[in-house]
Amino acid sequence: MTRPAFRDPLLRDAAAIGIAVGAFGASYGALAVASGLSAAQAVATSLLVFTGASQFAFIGVLAAGGGALAAILPAALLAVRNGLYGLTLEYLLPAGLRRRLAVSHLIIDESTAMARAQADAARGRRALIATGIAVFVCWNLGTLAGAASGGIIGDPSRLGLDAMFPAAFLALLAPQLRRPQAGRIACAGAIAAALLVPVAPAGVPILGASLAVLLPRWGRP
């Protein structure tokens, strides 16, 4: 007998992550409008770009007085990591170009962590899609609410909520350290980030650390 969706731990976790991300979506919408974007532009970036770190980097440069071109570079560098995630999740993508493109749009930090935390490919694919959809819906609804709020919603870091996502992400990734080569990849990523943070522009340390996921591919005959 099929369990109701609300009793499925995987779907509950996906929904909880989506709701939490929605709070940051609201903050993004409010800050984007305060940085000079229109409400329509803020919503469009969430629909089409759909990677919070890049979006916050973009409006951060705008808020500091930078132009659009200057804002695109750090945003693009941060977005590259999603492509690297895609390399590790290739086996979970469905057949058919359109379906693969649709699911690829859902590959972000949270959906990747949820997918990699599953014990088999079937649950991994389900976690990837469920988490991606939950985050996509809540992030975009949050952006819309924030853009329409007139600046009432502020920066969630003032409440200490900025620590929530790194903590949750580490909790999801911790079981992966038991996988073959996981320790080597984690150490390589940490070393790359530590070396790049003092000298590289925003986004580059994350990109450098993300390249560590390619180590297993480099080691294949």
Would you state the structure tokens that stand for residue 202, as one six-digit string? Answer: 């925003």
pLDDT for 49: 92
Coil/strand/helix, residue 1? coil
Cα–Cα distance list, 160 to 11, 156, 167, 221 (Å)? 26, 7, 12, 47
CB atoms within 10 A of CB 154: 15
pLDDT for 220: 44
pLDDT for 1: 45
Cα–Cα distance list, 177 to 40, 77, 159, 174, 184 (Å)? 42, 26, 31, 6, 9
Own/partner contacts of 209-212, CB < 8 Å, gap of 24 or more, are: 210/80, 210/81, 210/84, 210/85, 211/84, 212/185, 212/186, 212/188
Kindly give the parts of the chain with pLDDT less than 70.
1-6, 150-180, 202-203, 206-207, 213-221
**pLDDT tens across 103-151, in order?**
999 999 889 989 988 889 999 999 999 999 999 999 999 999 989 986 5
Q: Are 75 and 58 in contact (CB under 8 A)?
A: yes
Q: Mean pLDDT for the chain? A: 80
DSSP H helices, the chain, are 9-34, 39-48, 52-63, 68-88, 97-104, 109-116, 121-147, 164-173, 182-196, 204-210, 215-218
- As a whole number of Å, the end-to-end CA separation of the chain is 45
pLDDT for 175: 60
pLDDT for 7: 73
Please give the torsion angle defined by the CA atoms of residues 171, 127, 7 and 137, in that order, rounded to the nearest 10 degrees.
100
Q: In the block, which residue shows the tokens 């379906």?
A: 99
pTM over 0.85: no
Q: In the block, which residue shows the tokens 């007998």?
A: 1
Q: Which of 166, 130, 113, 173 minimizes the C-alpha distance to 18?
A: 130
